[in-house]
Amino acid sequence: MSYSVIRPLFAAMALMAATPAFAAGDVAHPKQQQWAFDGVFGTFDKPSIQRGLQVYKEVCAACHGLDRVAFRTLTGVGFSEAEVKSLAASYDVQDGPNDVGEMFTRPGQPSDKFPNPYANDNMARAMNNGALPPDLSLIVKARPDGANYLFSLLTGYSDAPKGFELPEGSYYNKYFPGGVIKMPPPLSADQVTYQDGTHATVEQEARDLVNFLQWAAEPEMEDRKHMGIKVMIFLLVMVGFFYVAKKRIWNNIEH
């Protein structure tokens, strides 16, 4: 049998094998929210990002890492250098080896990244009923419709429908594949006390956390969009310039 025949057969077999998994998922479509960062002219909501950092620190950091985010980048969302130094120093960071070949811990510095709450993946699984809590650095980009999906997931916990078998130690969330999730509902009303006085509803905490995670996944977004707009303006000007030049050069030439 030729390769041209075998390849479609393998593709069909893979599709049939994957179909039950998608059917079993029966995932609800994420709630569609309006975000300040959406669109060509989108920008970061810096007060919301600062509140989202507080939610991450007080709620999420016990289980989820933020391995790709350096403390120093927080100056881009309105924190002063002194605040960044203070925040970094509140963490213990492993460093080394020292002169005698041993690892040691020290207070964090702005150049350090947020430390992971677990020493390794095996420890993380052991402390979370066998589930590995994902790192949140790129979680928005790692999920389709990431911002809306995360907001929906965080606010989507509810009682399981009648007749739905929920394994022990699990929770029902219609926005999670299969509806069964091992992570307990992470947010509750007034779980954090915002320093700016914002009322901490579940929806507000979820929105602030998603804004923070969107920034964490793509901190260069504003610069990229600004550059894109400048490039488009430049191209439009050049199109006009070349059109006028073409008309002047070829206007008196018979075709």
Q: Note the pLDDT tens digit of each residue in 91-145.
A: 999 888 888 888 889 999 999 999 999 989 999 999 988 889 999 999 999 999 9
Tell me if 41 is assigned to some domain.
yes
The number of folded domains in the chain is 2
Rounded average pLDDT over 197-207:
97
Q: Which domain, by its residues, includes 245?
A: 220-255
| Residue in 214, 216, 209 with CA at minimum distance from that of residue 37 | 214
Name the average pLDDT for the chain: 88
CA distance 218 to 77: 12
Q: With a cut of 50, say whether residue 20 has pLDDT above it.
A: no
- Please enumerate, as own/partner, the contacts of 174-177 that have beta carbons within 8 Å and a separation of 24 or more: 174/27, 174/28, 175/27, 175/28, 175/30, 175/149, 176/27, 177/24, 177/25, 177/27
Please give the model's pTM, rounded to 2 decimal places.
Answer: 0.83
Report how far apart, in Å, the C-alpha atoms of 220 and of each of 41, 52, 115, 248 are.
14, 18, 22, 42
Q: What is the pLDDT of residue 16?
A: 38
Q: What is the pLDDT of residue 249?
A: 82
Tell me if 93 is assigned to some domain.
no
Beta-bridge partner residues of 139: none
**Parallel, antiparallel, or unpaired for β 92-95 and 104-107?**
antiparallel
User: 53-57, 129-133, 199-203: which has the minimum mean pLDDT?
Assistant: 129-133
CA distance 174 to 183: 13
Q: What is the pLDDT of residue 4?
A: 43
Provide the CATH number for the domain around residue 127: 1.10.760.10
Tell me if 227 is assigned to some domain.
yes
Residue 137 and residue 42 share a domain:
yes
Q: What is the pLDDT of residue 128?
A: 87
